[in-house]
A and B are shown apart, each in its own frame.
Chain A
Amino acid sequence: MSRLKRFLKMAFLLDILQGLGVTLRLYFSRKVTVQYPEQVQEPAPRFRGILRLHRDEGGEPLCIACKACQRACGTNCFDIEGKKEEGAKVMRPVKFDWKLDRCSFCGFCVEVCPTAAIRFSREFRLTGTGKVGLFFRLPDMYLAGEDLQEHLCAGCRRPQ
């Protein structure tokens, strides 16, 4: 009986029509495509975007130039020099060079930082046309948003 049923189903193309019905239903279903420049998908909370330095609430830099990140870094991204001002309690970096093209986003520097000065941001737009934009000095490490894009794109002539 079931063999006959199966044969009839096949002979009258019922299973084929059923399959076509499935795709037709999907045809009108909601689409998962995110149309990138217009719609931007928020990255996950723990997303590892570009590394950024942070300041405390008073606007004082958190970094104490302990060079823990420099030692932890597996790819030698950092070149840090600190200096203690007369009467100041802690050291401050006077040179903080960081190379994005060397960074592998492993996160060792973030883990090791005693003051949580260096953290991952959620910025994922990291393209430029030259190596210049991938080299960050101390003030560049605080850039974010469009300022960061401009820095990354140093040397490319993009219509503003």
Chain B
Amino acid sequence: MTPFVAEVLIPVGKVVAVILYPMVMVVVMIWLERRVVALMQGRLGPNRVGFQGLLQPVADAVKLFFKENIMQRQADTFLFNVSPVLVMFSSLLAFCFVPLGEPIMLGSYNLTLWIAESPVGLLIILGLSSISVFGVIFGGWASNSKYPLMGALRSVVQVLSYEIPIGLTVLTVVFVARSMDLVEIVRRQEASGVWYGFLMPVSFVVFWISGIAETNRAPFDLPEAESELVAGYHTEYSGMKFAFFYMAEYAHMVLVSSLVVILFFGGWLPPFPSVKALSFLHAAPGFVWYLVKIMFFLYLYVWIRATFPRYRFDSLIRLVWKWFVPLSLLNFLAVALGRFLL
């Protein structure tokens, strides 16, 4: 392999891929959400544009491209424009640290299926997902309108509250794996033979529910309760700026699903590694398993949305402070104790 390919083409290709991959997942996700929610409500959902309506998100995006970009006269121009970019940027950047599978050997070249492997990858992802809070609050404040401001405040309170149980449950995984490196965490699960989701079900459940709340999804979608409020913090946004918020929300869902899969369900590992009769499962490459797993969790997102009614704001805050924080603290203590004794 020539150095040009190895040092220019492949890195550039990876950068393109890391932008395309969440975008494609967002498109699939929007379609999946509309179809699945419709089917669960006894309807059919969009099935005309393209095969089974697969091109519906594309049509939506084209529509949004041609929409007028409206800005409030007294809006803070700089913050108003920068906040959708901030939200989108933090969602996309986090995907650089998400490993999609084992490295592939191309001749003598070692093609890694991640852009950056960092010993504190988990910390970086958590930090980046917190940056999107700034985008939300800037957007809500810069709109110079009361409803976006209230929506932004609600959103920030919610996201910050639910970050505590997320941090505490992630710590249990870090404790058991003794690493913050996502690749290393998956390798530890491979070595120990049991996925951490089965080892620490409490951590998984708390992380997953908090993850739903963190992405402002139903039943915790209070900041933008579609059926009650206008749109929450992005009320004043239109056209592609609105689409940025929208896509960032979906990209964030893909990110949380990826994190759940990597931390608790063995990332790219095939299931049942010790059962000899099922060894044919290893024939599929790792990232296929990874995709299957995250598709399951994305489906679960939609499934939960179609099932449960929205929380009231006080119950939402009560749930996290009176149940999840103590529960994850106890869980953390239990895991720490177990790790110390074993």
Contact A20 B43 (CB under 8 A): no
Among A26-34, A41-49, A90-98, the stretch that binds chain B is A26-34
Given A13-B205, A27-B36, the answer on whether A20 and B42 have CB atoms closer than 8 Å is: no
Residues in B neighbouring A32, C-beta threshold 8 A = 42-43
Contact B307 A22 (CB under 8 A): yes
Contact B42 A29 (CB under 8 A): yes
B272-310 residues with Cβ-Cβ distance < 8 A to A are 303-304, 306-308
A3-48 residues with Cβ-Cβ distance < 8 A to B are 13, 16, 19-20, 22-24, 26-27, 29-33, 35
Query: Which chain A residue has the least Cβ–Cβ distance from B205?
Result: A13
Residues in B neighbouring A27, C-beta threshold 8 A = 36, 39-40
Interface flag for B41 (CB, 8 Å): yes
Interface flag for B44 (CB, 8 Å): yes
Residues in A neighbouring B39, C-beta threshold 8 A = 26-27, 31
Given A13-B205, A27-B36, A27-B39, the answer on whether A35 and B304 have CB atoms closer than 8 Å is: no
Given A19-B307, A20-B303, A20-B307, the answer on whether A26 and B41 have CB atoms closer than 8 Å is: yes
A19 to B300 CA separation, bound complex (whole angstroms):
13
Q: Would you give the shortest CB distance from A57 to chain B, in whole angstroms?
A: 45
Residues in B neighbouring A33, C-beta threshold 8 A = 43-44
Of the four ranges (under 10, 10 to 19, 20 to 34, 35 or more), the interface on chain B belongs to 10 to 19
Contact B42 A23 (CB under 8 A): no
A29-83 residues with Cβ-Cβ distance < 8 A to B are 29-33, 35
Residues in A neighbouring B42, C-beta threshold 8 A = 26, 29-32
Number of residues from A at the complex interface, CB < 8 A: 15
Given A13-B205, A19-B308, the answer on whether A24 and B43 have CB atoms closer than 8 Å is: no
- A20 is contacted by which of B36, B41, B44, B304 (Cβ under 8 Å)? B304
A23 to B309 CA separation, bound complex (whole angstroms):
12
Q: Would you give the shortest CB distance from A37 to chain B, in whole angstroms?
A: 10
Residues in A neighbouring B308, C-beta threshold 8 A = 16, 19
B22-47 residues with Cβ-Cβ distance < 8 A to A are 36, 39-44
Contact A23 B40 (CB under 8 A): yes
Q: Would you give the shortest CB distance from A81 to chain B, in whole angstroms?
A: 48
Given A13-B205, A31-B39, the answer on whether A23 and B44 have CB atoms closer than 8 Å is: no
Residues in B neighbouring A31, C-beta threshold 8 A = 39, 42-44
A35 to B44 CA separation, bound complex (whole angstroms):
9
Residues in A neighbouring B306, C-beta threshold 8 A = 23
A19 to B40 CA separation, bound complex (whole angstroms):
12
B198-240 residues with Cβ-Cβ distance < 8 A to A are 205
Query: Which chain A residue has the least Cβ–Cβ distance from B327?
Result: A11
Q: Would you give the shortest CB distance from A80 to chain B, in whole angstroms?
A: 45
Residues in B neighbouring A13, C-beta threshold 8 A = 205
Contact A26 B40 (CB under 8 A): yes
Most chain B CB neighbours (cut-off 10 Å) among A22, A23, A27: A23
Residues in B neighbouring A19, C-beta threshold 8 A = 307-308
Query: Which chain B residue has the least Cβ–Cβ distance from A34?
Result: B44
A27 to B45 CA separation, bound complex (whole angstroms):
12
6 A-B pairs within 8 Å (CB atoms) are namely A20-B304, A22-B307, A23-B307, A27-B36, A33-B43, A33-B44
A residues at B contact (CB < 8 Å)? 13, 16, 19-20, 22-24, 26-27, 29-33, 35
The 7 closest A-B pairs by CB, nearest first: A33-B44, A23-B307, A23-B40, A19-B307, A27-B40, A27-B39, A26-B40
